[in-house]
Amino acid sequence: MRLWYLFALAGLAASAGCAPAIGDDCEVSTDCSVSGDRACDRSQPGGYCTVPNCDTNTCPEEAVCVEYLYQQPRLAQTWCLATCEDDGDCRGGAYSCTKASEILDATGSNIARVIDTKGDSIRFCAVK
C-alpha cells in the first residue's frame, strides 16, 4: 500500500511539471488550462496560451499584461504574454522577444504598452 502511495505522489509531481505556461502552443483552451483560467488565442501562429482581459499585475508569474491599441480605449485589449530575455526564450518561428515600444502599426506609431508595474522595459514573446 505504501509503495502505491509513493508512485501516486511521483505521478502527481511529474504532471505538475508539465503544466502549460503562458505562450505555449495550443489548439483549444483546455490545452492551456483545464480549470478555465487561461485561453487559447488561435489567431496567433500555432495558438498562444494566454489570459485575455488582464489587469495590472494579474498575470501568472511567467507573464506580463500587455495592452494593445491603448490610444483607442474602445478598441483596447489586454493579454498576458510570456516574458523573455531573448528570442531563444520564445517559441521559434513566428515569435520573437520584444518590448512594447517595438510594436508599431503601419504608420510607425506604437500600439502596445505594458500595464504591469514591471514597466515598459520588460520584454515578452510576441508575433514577429
Domain ranges of the chain: 20-127
Residue in 19, 24, 58 with CA at minimum distance from that of residue 39 = 24
Amino acid 82 reads A
The predicted pLDDT at position 2 comes to: 53
- 3 state DSSP class of 14: helix
Task: Please say whether the dihedral angle defined by the alpha carbons of residues 24, 26, 30 and 36, taken in this order, is positive or negative.
Answer: positive
Residue written as grid cell 508512485: 7
pLDDT at residue number 118? 84
pTM to 2 decimals? 0.84
Determine the pLDDT at residue 60.
96
**Cα→Cα distances 110→17, 35, 87, 95, 104, Å:** 37, 35, 21, 18, 4
At 7-42, the pLDDT tens digits run 444 444 444 456 899 999 999 999 999 999 999 999
Q: Exposed, middle or buried by CB within 10 Å (0-12, 13-18, 19+), for 30? A: middle
pLDDT at 120: 76
SS3 79: strand
Low-confidence ranges of the chain (pLDDT < 50): 1, 3-16
